[in-house]
Amino acid sequence: MIALDTNILVYALREESPWHASAVLRLRELAEGRSTWAIPAPSLHEFLAVATHPRIFTPPTPLGVAIEFTEAVLQSPTLLVLSESDGYWPVLHGLVRGSNVAGRRIHDARIAALCLHHRVAELWSADRDFGRFPQVKTRNPLVAS
């Protein structure tokens, strides 16, 4: 199963992004495909926060537009939203201790732990910070391999 990180969703929404067309293509492949794919729940929250943040985008995405985009993505019948469940805490605890992250990097550890907990085969992200968690296979699907 492939999981998407926040930045792929942001690039798919924001047309001025140099990765917009590639992100839309990748998102569409997953959403319209037959295989189960996933988005960690914290990535949905972060997507709304980033897309609508006036210090990140000028102008920011209107909240209604960001919510409509999210709801459209959530309509994919093969999408699984990853959330915490029994057995999650030991995974997060192990990642945090093993990578020695703290502060805002705990958010990345949470996403990585959710992916491991739900047996995600590959996390698609343009964020290199996931390199701190070698247990999670990551790939940037927006650039040529």
Say which CATH number the domain at 132 has: 3.40.50.1010
pLDDT at residue number 61: 98
Inside any domain, residue 144: no
Domains contained in the chain, number: 1
Answer whether residue 145 is part of any domain. no
- What range does the domain containing 102 cover? 2-139
Q: 80 with 118: CB under 8 angstroms?
A: yes
Position 20 in a domain: yes
Instruction: Identify the pLDDT of residue 37.
Output: 98
- DSSP-assigned states of every residue in 16-36: TSTTHHHHHHHHHHHHHSSS-
Q: Please indicate, yes or no, if residue 8 is contained in any of the structural domains.
A: yes
Q: What is the pLDDT of residue 144?
A: 74
Record the tokens describing residue 133, joined without a space.
């968690």
Determine the distance from the C-alpha atom of residue 73 to the mean position of all C-alpha atoms in its chain, rounded to a whole number: 12
Spatial separation of the C-alpha atoms in residues 61 and 49, rounded to whole Å: 10
10-residue averages of pLDDT along the chain (145 residues): 98 97 97 97 98 97 98 98 96 93 93 98 94 94 83
pTM, 2 dp: 0.94
pLDDT at 145: 62
